[in-house]
Structure 1
Amino acid sequence: MSRNLEVRARQTLFIVKKGATKKKIPFPAEWHHCVPSDNAELIDSIQKAEDKRQLVIILVGEKDFTATVETLRKSLGKQSLADLGMLVISENSDPFLTKHSEVLELSDVLSEAALLEDPKFHLLRAVRELLRKARREGKRINQEMLERLNHIFITMSAERDQKRLLEQILQESMDLTSSEKGNLYMVEETDGEMYLRVKISAERNGVSISAINEKATENNICGYVVLT
């Protein structure tokens, strides 16, 4: 497999659930792996990996698979689930895969003997499958985003009230980015200088509009965006 795939594998956290295998898995040097003691530690390990922008692959036995999936779905958001894969250790791989093929987190199913015979190969294959899934998910989200933006633009083009239009722009932007609050500034040029004239602030419970007279400078994020 490609060298780039090995680089991604070294950037992946492999989490081995207790009881997944009878024998210890010989991970390649420099690969990150851990064995959490309970579900709380499992979730904590995943969240820390997310903060580091690591991929996550969980190795789990078939008997613990369903309970683990339920724990993940209960504790993590949809986006978190999209960024992880599960490698299931089962002596009956074909029937198991057929039964659970609809589980998006499922990357591969194989026997313990096969895994231990060539662990690097199978772990790399799991990383490759997770990367492919991430690309497919990214394309789907991009298409949904384009369709949603197109709908927003059509709706906004029919709005004639400037105040409601600005509020709508801000609220839609917050929804698209899953933000709890946001600010929108109206900018005006005077004598070659850019000034922030109106500030529209929104939270989930309402919108407020205030008049301001602030010169745009590169010392803050808003001013930097305006000037660049």
Structure 2
Amino acid sequence: MIVQQIISGLALGCVYGLIALGFVLIFKATEVINFAQGEMMMIGAFVAYTLITMLNVPFLLAFLITPIICGCLGIILERVLIRPLIKESVVSIIMVTIGLSITLRAFAGMIWSYDTLDFPHLFSEEAVRIGGVVMAPVDIWVIFVTVGLVLLLYAFFRFTTVGISLQASAQNPLASLLMGISVKRVYAMTWAISGMVGAVAGIIVAPISFLNCNMGFLGPSLSR
């Protein structure tokens, strides 16, 4: 029983970790706390819901398409809302992200619904027994996806030119600019990656909680 509770708690912690990862990515690069990150998770869940239930896209394909859509949305939001304020105070940009959070919730409610929707159950509710330990299939899925995403991001930041540029700009924007690294492009990439991470979080949160335009509020939405 204790092991089962640990695994369930670990799965829940993985979800919080993914959301925190989106916050950290933007904060490290721009020193801005993005209060709309939870809403990026919500948008990702709704996009996946639309692809799967309305367009009959297979789940695995929807799982690949949704982060791309949310990544593009992240780039658009950075270009339209954040970049014009790049010389303004951090507080001003934070206030914009708060407004963005409210706006995204309103748009989600108008487009999809303010009602609570049932995300497709992708896994059997029957528990899986491994070596005497009983686990919910969805918990295994959450842990597996989170570990895979973290490893993928590690490889991206450690071994790719773009990832190294993102790290350099986060540590010293002025020096990076002098070295020919476009800080504006780095900011756009950061928002894109953050949006993609939020989308993945939304896809794994929706089946274990509920799908609602207020699911960006992590406290109530993740209670089980």
Q: What TM-score, normalized to structure 1?
A: 0.28
Which protein is bigger by CA-based radius of gyration?
Answer: 1
Higher strand share: 1
Higher helix share: 2
Q: What TM-score, normalized to structure 2?
A: 0.28
Higher RCO (C-alpha 8 Å, min separation 6): 2
